Amino acid sequence: MPQAAVARAERPAPATGEDGEVRFDPKASAARIIEGLKHDPATLKAAAKTDDLAGFVALVRADLQGYLETSGQSQAQVAKGMGVSPTYINQFINGKFPVPAQEAGFARAVSRYLERAGRRAERILEAEFVEILPARQILRILEDAHDNREMVLVVGRAGIGKSQAALRYAALNHKEVIYVLAGEHIRAPRAFLAHLAARINLPTHLRFYDLFERVAEKLKDSGRFLVIDEAEFLCGEFGDRTVEMLRQLRERTAIGLAFVSNEAFWRRITGERTREQLEKFSTRLAVRKFLKAKVRKDDVEAIMHRHLNGVGEDVLGRLLARAQGPGAFRAVALYCRRAADFAAQNGGKVTTDILDKVAALVEGELEDAVDRAGLEPGRLPLGADRPEGAASPA
């Protein structure tokens, strides 16, 4: 089962640096959110069904006040999340709701919002970083590139843990690492440079030349480390120019630079550039790490034990088979979380049957795969052998 009960008891405090600055810590933030939710969702649901509506409203009001005090969220943020006016939140908290007859209904909406916040917080607590082999390899490469101010490339299939490792390194070195998640909106050089300028507290409205000079001056010999995650978005004409701009920026500033991507980025670099362009980029790479596609049993087992307790080798075997398909470790973690939820709701433990039900829910094409494969009607076990050429539900 999930480790939520243990995580609730631990309730870690916010991480602070030597200078006393509070660092962003999703796990600590999640624990504070849960701390603020004074009542179990079941208690609130039971109270909502009684005739004591005033008592129910009081419970929800106490929950909302606790949530605001401990989570760091403002009344305006809660209102935005609920799609209501901040005035309503303020009036509800202060017992001055404008239409008393509608206060209980508004309290139910607040209760649902808080329940969702609690579930999300539980997910964060349960999704603690697992240091599997690819993650250890990536962390080591990033650390070396940071220390030696080198340009590196990490390539791997989707779901192998690249982003989690990059985020982990950024969290461990938050003042020195600039983590950028690439995307369509910052593919062009000017857009990317403006995004980078904002991250290092520089104005973004300058002309491209002036913006580049200001960013270069700010980063020069700073010891900072720039990590570009999902670098495959830097493809196409605009993306190529952005990659070249980043290469020039690194040479001007002597900072470390890491591109973290799937295979599409490297195919673009090697297949659609001239020989001179390729050499200009590839010869400056201190490391080109291509993560192996095949996953190890030990890594799958580590992820499984992070989310599940007391499961058998048959469950591990199914998860190991699933890890070889699309999504790799990400899919394993998703299956584990869904299976743990399903087992908890039905008062049992995680079995291969539950994994099959989770597969049908998550993949959405399980029965279609059975039909295409020409197999017997019924549930296709997760990771089961298939006839040659049969489609996989994964």
- What is residue 387's predicted lDDT score, i.e. its pLDDT? 36
- What is residue 189's predicted lDDT score, i.e. its pLDDT? 93
**Residue boundaries of the structural domains of the chain:** 4-126, 133-290, 297-373
3-state secondary structure of 274: coil
* pLDDT of 11 above 60: no
* pLDDT of 140 above 50: yes
- What is residue 175's predicted lDDT score, i.e. its pLDDT? 80
C-alpha count within 13 angstroms, C-beta hemisphere, residue 238: 13
C-alpha count within 13 angstroms, C-beta hemisphere, residue 12: 18
Question: What pLDDT band is residue 149 in, cutting at 50, 70 and 90?
Answer: very high
Mean pLDDT of 265-287: 75
* pLDDT of 381 above 60: no
Min mean pLDDT across 51-65, 113-127, 258-272, 376-390 is at 376-390
Classify each residue of 30-55 as buried b or exposed e, where b means 16 or more C-beta atoms within 10 Å of its C-beta: bbbbbbbbeeebeebeebbeeeeeee
Q: Please, are residues 102 and 91 in contact by the beta-carbon 8 Å criterion?
A: no
* CA torsion through residues 205, 211, 214, 218, sign: positive
Topology of the domain comprising 133-290: Rossmann fold (3.40.50)
The share of the chain scoring above pLDDT 70, in percent, equals 75
Mean pLDDT of 336-340: 81
Mean pLDDT of 117-144: 76
Structural Rg of the chain based on CA atoms: 25
| 256-261/285-290 β-pairing | unpaired
Beta partners for residue 227, in sequence order:
179, 258
* pLDDT of 56 above 80: yes
* pLDDT of 30 above 70: no
User: How wide is the angle at C-alpha 312 spanned by C-alphas 132 and 3, nearest 5°?
Assistant: 60
Average pLDDT in the chain: 77
DSSP symbol at 260: E
Largest distance between two CA atoms of the chain: 78
Measure Cα distances from 105 to 92, 99, 139 in Å: 11, 11, 49
Q: Which residue has the higher pLDDT, 329 or 126?
A: 329
Mean pLDDT of 58-82: 85
C-alpha count within 13 angstroms, C-beta hemisphere, residue 321: 18
Q: Which residue has the higher pLDDT, 207 or 13?
A: 207
Per the structure block, which two tokens stand in for 109? 């909406």
Residue type at position 234:
L
184 vs 182: CA distance, rounded Å: 7
Q: Which of 120, 139, 132, 229 is nearest to 183 (CA)?
A: 229
Highest-confidence segment of 16-20, 53-57, 373-377, 387-391: 53-57
- What is residue 378's predicted lDDT score, i.e. its pLDDT? 39
* pLDDT of 298 above 50: yes
Mean pLDDT of 354-378: 58
Q: Which of 199, 177, 185, 179 is nearest to 239 (CA)?
A: 185
Mean pLDDT of 146-167: 90
207 vs 196: CA distance, rounded Å: 14
Highest-confidence segment of 192-206, 275-289, 320-334: 192-206
Beta partners for residue 258, in sequence order:
152, 227
Residue type at position 34:
I
Q: What one-character-per-residue DSSP string does 359-390 give?
A: HHHHHS-HHHHHHHHT--SS---TT----TTP
Question: What pLDDT band is residue 318 in, cutting at 50, 70 and 90?
Answer: confident
7 vs 125: CA distance, rounded Å: 6
Highest-confidence segment of 6-20, 46-60, 131-145, 296-310: 131-145
Residue type at position 148:
N
* pLDDT of 45 above 80: no
Q: What are phi and psi of 16, to 5 degrees?
A: -130, 150
- What is residue 252's predicted lDDT score, i.e. its pLDDT? 94
Highest-confidence segment of 144-148, 271-275, 364-368: 144-148
Mean pLDDT of 357-378: 55
Neighbours of 275 (CB within 10 A): 7
What number of residues does the chain have?
A: 394
User: How wide is the angle at C-alpha 35 spanned by C-alphas 125 and 81, nearest 5°?
Assistant: 80
Residue type at position 369:
A
- What is residue 338's predicted lDDT score, i.e. its pLDDT? 81
Question: What pLDDT band is residue 3 in, cutting at 50, 70 and 90?
Answer: very low
Question: What pLDDT band is residue 142 in, cutting at 50, 70 and 90?
Answer: very high
pTM of the model: 0.64
Q: Which of 49, 64, 72 is nearest to 97 (CA)?
A: 64
Q: Please, are residues 47 and 134 in contact by the beta-carbon 8 Å criterion?
A: no
Q: Please, are residues 31 and 12 in contact by the beta-carbon 8 Å criterion?
A: yes
- pLDDT per residue over 169-221, tens digit each? 988 887 899 999 998 899 999 999 999 999 899 999 999 999 999 999 999 98
